Structure 1
Amino acid sequence: MTSFFRSIRNTLNFDFEDKNEAILNADLGLLGFPPKDLHYRFLSQFTPVFYIRIREYSKTVAIAPYIVNYSGAVFHQYPGPWQVMLKQADGSYACIAESATRFTLGEVNT
């Protein structure tokens, strides 16, 4: 086991010194799991290339049926623009707005 932890430490540059310290610092209780600092340093090097957030909305209008329910999504595929998508009757999504910056959920709802 000691050689296993040494190989992980050497390969991934972990901050623990021996197997006992690795077990004490393990997040989520997993043997040899790296500390949160390593998670942050490792994951912060990645750029998200795909984002989608699907939401259900309702809007009050002055004419019947007075409440209109609809579904939509905020979508982004790097390096393209952020998009607001509206769900169509056939289940597909149509882009109704684009921006270089991310839309807030309040902007999406209107």
Structure 2
Amino acid sequence: MFKLLKYNFTNFLKKHLLLIIIIALNLGLSKLLNLIIDKVPLNTNLTITLTSLANTLMVVFIISLIALPVMTFILSVMRYKRKVLGDEGYLIHTLPLKKRDILDAMILNLLI
């Protein structure tokens, strides 16, 4: 079961790596902009521009945080359908595992 979980997890990371990088960069840029905004005097055009940019980055950050679990669920369902119920299912069913172990590995990967 753990080998199956390992392969599922590496596939998960390949699919989600771009979104995780976007979230990390967005968080870093947001923090940097907030530090710059604190140093700039109030009521200037630069402050207004930086504040609107920081707010836009925060909205993108929130949307990407919402998109990550949704994308995880959709990709896990698609992968389960392809790997267990689709043409590749005969490979999974030849493993010396119980049906419950296969399902547990897929669900555990979804929860991680």
Bigger helix share: 2
Q: TM-score, normalised by structure 1?
A: 0.22
Q: TM-score, normalised by structure 2?
A: 0.22
Larger strand percent: 1
